[in-house]
Amino acid sequence: MKYIDEGRIENNLAQAGKASAERVAEILEKSRKLQRLSLDEAACLLSAQDPLLVKSIFETAAEVKDRIYGKRVVLFAPLYISNFCANACLYCAFKSDNKEIVRKALSMEEIKQQVEWLLKRGHKRILMVGGESGAAGKEPIDYYVDAVKAIYSVSVGPHRIKRVNANVAPLSVEQFKKLKNSGIGTYQLFQETYHEKTYRLVHPKGPKSDPDNRVAGIDRAFQAGIDDVGIGVLYGLYDWKFETLAMLMHVEALEKNFNVGPHTISVPRIEPAQGVEFVKNLKYKVSDQEFKMIVAVLRLAVPYTGIILSTRESAQMRDELFNLGISQVSAESRTNPGGYCDQSGDESAAQFSLSDSRTLDEVMASLIEKGNIPSFCAACYRKERTGESFMNLAKPGTIKGKCSMNALITLKEYLDDFASPVVKDQGYKMIRELRDKLSPEDKVTVADFFAGIDKGRRDDYV
């Protein structure tokens, strides 16, 4: 598979098991300087088993996350526009031969209805997700572009979606250019598994069956001018240590070829899905402790990268992982097209089962209670702080000031317009406490933004 040297990964893991406690301490000291880790250094951390070493890894991950991004956690909602798919992925309910789910591709009017529902709840960032077939009568790229335009066209009072990110099948360079011109933020493409034998096993039919075309999709996105990309692994398909190192190998290749690493890394664990037998007997199931290690080591290995956690995980697990490196999280998700407006609980068209069913307001309450600042910021996209520009701010940790200030601004907007009374009380108290800690200059800046919000202005940012 392009970019992936399986022999090198296996050798790294074999050598890592011999690493001393002193070696692990050296690596963690390097991480505290916000430096990228090499593959062999990441392998040493992944292989650590001594409870004291693991504790130190977790504590360092929390420290690094705080130094890069502060306490802010960005919130978004996935919007599934279609579950028609040309692939036969063994682990996915959308697979083409699954007769147990209801197929649906949302019309533009239905997409607008979904967006209106999300806006009324307080959501401002959307991840658009579609199966690899688009909609009847339209080429997939045309359907995606029309969907993005439909999402941006919706307003509820002063509220609009700030940014649409896209998770759709790999495209040609020309098609990627069309997607970029539609106004997307980040383009996400998950390899699912970087182990070639496993990849071919779980993707037996369809366009996705070619692993090299899949991994090269990110290259084509860069070539089309999309410099903000997200990658990921579906943990549970193969050995978690191998997958993590392989993904980091992919990161190395992107940095070498395009001078930019991924803006985000997603860490979904495989979940049960309707009509999917494969999930019932997993050989490589990832335990909760192993999953925590994955998040912590990714935070240390690529400190500048946002790490995304979905509602596949339980509320308890999600709350624990915020301190280990998670910086973006979905909330109040539905994985079936039309699921937001249809609150019947029928998930017969869903991609997988969800574990965290809390409302956005409940997730906000939990974040605030634990000292995290909920954020709906999309300023980097508007200010063209993407690609190398973003990396130049994120790598030394200087993005933190902008992130924290924008988080406070978007938090006040949410509290004023959408929050329950309990969350209002919690949130305003947090704002007062954090504002008192700002520099005199930043206090003046925030006061000006807050005055604008009080006068009805929305969607301001630093």
Beta bridge pairs of residue 72:
373
pLDDT of residue 346: 53
pLDDT of residue 422: 96
Print burial letters for 182-213: b (CB count within 10 Å at least 16), e (below 16).
Answer: bebbbbbbbbbbbbeebbeebbeebebbebee
Q: Which amino acid is at 2?
A: K
pLDDT of residue 205: 95
pLDDT of residue 405: 83
Query: In 154-270, which residue ranges form alpha helices assigned H by DSSP?
Result: 173-181, 196-202, 211-223, 240-258
Residues 152-155: contacts with CB within 8 Å, 24+ apart? 152/183, 153/112, 154/112, 154/115, 154/116, 154/119, 155/119
pLDDT of residue 272: 87
pLDDT of residue 353: 73
Among residues 429, 350, 338, 333, the alpha carbon closest in space to that of 121 is found at: 333
Burial of 232 (0-12, 13-18, 19+ CB in 10 A): buried
Residue stretches of the chain with pLDDT short of 50: 345
Here the tokens at position 253 are 């290749």
Residue 192 carries which DSSP code?
B
pLDDT of residue 386: 67
pLDDT of residue 128: 97
The CA distance from 231 to 246, in Å, is 12
Q: Which amino acid is at 150?
A: A
Residue 143 neighbours by CB distance under 10 Å? 23
